[in-house]
Structure 1
């Protein structure tokens, strides 16, 4: 596991609400392996830092070699209670631009203390991963993605 120093990667920012709006959740800007992303975090900050550390280590382990990252790269994003794994590829009709394509999602259910696993079908809807719909840790989710016994995630 790579030791990570989050002092340069995680910068906290709290958006100022308008007078008529209720305060928004705490937000952070994360220096991801491929780009900076802004994410909303209803989870507590320590849990989010743990998730970022696990995901950064995982992405570092599974990323393709440096020389092909312009054609294929891997990343992730955090949306609310979910961690979404993505592929980054050039757009087919405009190779100078790239797009993110999601392929796996884990959503944390705080009341049950489990991660629900989803895969993205061709109709662009998320479906529960029936062989193992829930796991207790994010690391277990990543192991299932790596195994991909039913070829739901990576084809």
Structure 2
């Protein structure tokens, strides 16, 4: 293939279409593999956060897994994980409710976020610590109307 053919893609229209289709198929395969890998990782984190990983079922391990779920934008699983943690570690209810509020906040469900922040305060969370989050939630609610 000559310089111009290499540069501008020589070949018949059928050959060009075949190259484009092959590239699209390879890209779709890579994306599917990446999604499957992310799903497997997320499922593992979720199991750990729920306390179903016998080797990593401490509060600390479960908390880290729940945080990683939220950071991976798996906020629904994060909420469920924090609620499960709060059932197994009742002394951590305030922290769990705060984190559930954060999950709702990230989803822009400001009313539910505010309700959970307020519930966290009622069971012992530091109101000063949550003041900024609550202000942002109220601002978000006002913007939505």
TM-score bucket of the superposed structures, by smaller chain? under 0.3
* Alignment TM-score, normalising by the size of structure 2: 0.26
Q: Greater strand percent: which structure?
A: 1
Give the structure with higher Rg (CA): 2
